[in-house]
Structure 1
């Protein structure tokens, strides 16, 4: 018997308010909850893009950053990134670098379903092949960061709303993603600190 996955609900200041079943937090009245986004890079500085599986509740079939997800209650965010990269993309990674500790967004789909997340952003380096899980990922593609950043900025690439907001903030860290300086875990919102 499997138990339903829960997410951590948070207030606007990033303090935990409790938990809720994951299935209950993506609707028209989505409460603010803890999540993460990650950007996977190879040694050439190419970013791994994923197309969300067509049966996903939020933004099905949409291209986005490498991997997004929710930490389990009590799970450190960087460990959640490692866990989800293994599950969604078959990647075995040692760790994840915190880049944007306090990113948050709210976005509504045309059908009224809302994403509302306190969503720190991580960078992950890999040198192994990707094995996408079709339950989560419809397709993958590697792209040079500069090309991806320019396409996003110029509106030439159709990507998820959170990714569209994150890319300019990541670009502010420098033109080469391999040289971005990680943020201190102390900068994470309280609910996200181990």
Structure 2
């Protein structure tokens, strides 16, 4: 049975709960999202497997999950990147935020999401139980497609891609590539 770490709005732990119970009750819990970019500035996206308990078949960031009780965020991220995408690296922390959304299958995402970024230029080796497909795409093209087809993307990925903290990074990347 998988458990998530319950937190308050300041990210202080106060217990654990079964993962499905937390998503049924909408309990605030700790999560992470990883965005990997290649040297061209393209983001590595994954299409969530049809077997996922929520947001199945939707495009999202490179990797996302929850740390296990007693597990550091860094260990959890390294573990899940390998489990989902076959990628062995340690991304860097960028920011965290809280979001709450009611999903179509009577589940509630209420997460304090820690967002990490990193660079990866290879081809992932996907776990088909977790990931259906993958692709690299330019962030501007993804944002444009999100506006035209919001139902094709996970809720949290849309929030992350539009956060000012990520925009600052993307703008620096665009300027860096323009001067090459």
How far residue 57 of structure 1 moved from its aligned partner, in angstroms, is: 1.2
Distance (whole Å) between structure 1 residues aligned to residue 108 and residue 173 of structure 2: 30
Alignment correspondent of 1:183: none
Contact in 2 for aligned 1:48/1:140 (Cα 8 Å): yes
Alignment correspondent of 1:53: 49
Alignment correspondent of 2:118: 124
Give matches, 1:24-39, under 5 Å. 24-27=21-24, 29-39=25-35
CA RMSD of aligned residues (A): 1.9
Distance (whole Å) between structure 2 residues aligned to residue 168 and residue 43 of structure 1: 21
Alignment correspondent of 1:12: 9
Q: Where does the alignment leave 5 or more consecutive residues of structure 1 unmatched? A: 180-194
Find out whether 1:166 has 2:160 as its counterpart: yes
Alignment correspondent of 2:36: 40
CA-to-partner distance for each residue in 1:76-118, whole Å, 9 max, x for gaps?
A: 212211110100001111x111111x21111111232111100
Find out whether 1:141 has 2:123 as its counterpart: no
- TM-score (norm: length of structure 2): 0.86
Name the structure where helix makes up a greater proportion of residues. 2
Distance (whole Å) between structure 2 residues aligned to residue 133 and residue 165 of structure 1: 25
SS in 1 for 2:124: coil
SS in 2 for 1:124: strand
Distance (whole Å) between structure 1 residues aligned to residue 4 and residue 104 of structure 2: 24
SS in 2 for 1:129: coil
Contact in 2 for aligned 1:145/1:177 (Cα 8 Å): no
Contact in 2 for aligned 1:58/1:115 (Cα 8 Å): no
Question: Of residues 72, 84, 88 in structure 2, which corresponds to 1:88?
Answer: 84
Q: Where does the alignment leave 5 or more consecutive residues of structure 2 unmatched? A: 176-180
Contact in 2 for aligned 1:48/1:142 (Cα 8 Å): yes
Alignment correspondent of 2:178: none
Distance 1:171 1:73, change over 3 A: same
Alignment correspondent of 1:105: 99
Contact in 1 for aligned 2:54/2:105 (Cα 8 Å): no
SS in 1 for 2:40: coil
